[in-house]
Chains A and B, each alone.
Chain A
Amino acid sequence: EPEVTQTPSHQVTQMGQEVILRCVPISNHLYFYWYRQILGQKVEFLVSFYNNEISEKSEIFDDQFSVERPDGSNFTLKIRSTKLEDSAMYFCASTLAGGYGTGELFFGEGSRLTVL
């Protein structure tokens, strides 16, 4: 069964360092998302991406964050200068949905980011 894959599964970094989290969405999916979950809290929407541009972003997704689809398969989330509060599990998701689709999301297993 097709799945969304994420790397790395866990990354430890020093505050102020740049981090890139990678995702390979399901191959025929068109819409891509990043969510994050701080330990013990709910899953929060960060950004959605379609047709090589951001469709929507939350207040969390400030200038320190960026997303890119550098090729036909990868979807990346970059945090330019990490802060302690960026420590969280980051989930990538994708959906096939078009304008009248159902929007069923397929999630990866997440990348745990620990900022020291």
Chain B
Amino acid sequence: SQQGEEDPQALSIQEGENATMNCSYKTSINNLQWYRQNSGRGLVHLILIRSNEREKHSGRLRVTLDTSKKSSSLLITASRAADTASYFCAPSPGGYQKVTFGTGTKLQVIP
């Protein structure tokens, strides 16, 4: 399997602002998943977008996928201090095959 590469590595914004994180990957996928990890905690699945989808929303999250460019973005609108965490994209071949994680984007939301 492959891992995604997140960009930027770190992002610091004020509460209420939007945060955008990008992900690039190399080979074809069945879907792409985004996860969040609060410091010292387990990863939490946020949202999944299938390869035949271009955009997906879940609450304050908006994910886009461009399979021609092999890239995805995660937008968090109206950020809150509780959104402070590391965010990882996980390109997935689907099924039971493992997903692997890159170094993530470390988001800090300043109250």
Q: B107 — which chain A residues lie within 8 A by C-beta?
A: none
Cα A50 to Cα B97 in complex, Å, equals: 11
Which residues of B pack against A, CB within 8 Å?
30-31, 33, 35, 37, 40-45, 48, 50, 88, 90, 92-104
Expressed in whole angstroms, the Cα–Cα distance for A51 and B76 within the complex equals: 38
CA–CA, A109 and B41, complex, Å: 5
A contact set with B: CB distance below 8 Å: 4, 30-31, 33, 35, 42-45, 48, 50, 55-56, 89, 91, 93, 95, 97-110
Q: Which residues of A contact B99 (CB under 8 A)?
A: 45, 103, 105
From A43, A45, A55, A107, B96 is in contact (CB under 8 Å) with A55
Are the C-beta atoms of B42 and A109 separated by less than 8 Å?
yes
Q: For the complex, what is the distance from the CA of A50 to the CA of B99, rounded to whole Å? A: 15
Interfacial chain B residues near A35, Cβ < 8 Å: 101
Say whether B94 contacts A101, CB under 8 Å.
yes
| A6 to B, closest residue via Cβ | B42
Q: In the complex, are the beta carbons of B45 and A97 less than 8 A apart? A: no
* A–B complex contacts, Cβ < 8 Å, 28 sampled: A4-B42, A30-B96, A42-B102, A48-B98, A50-B96, A55-B96, A89-B40, A95-B96, A97-B94, A98-B95, A99-B95, A100-B94, A100-B95, A101-B94, A101-B96, A102-B30, A102-B94, A103-B30, A103-B31, A103-B97, A103-B99, A104-B33, A104-B48, A105-B33, A107-B42, A107-B43, A109-B41, A109-B42
User: Taking CB as reference atom, which chain A residue is nearest B47?
Assistant: A104
* Chain B min CB distance to A89 (Å): 8
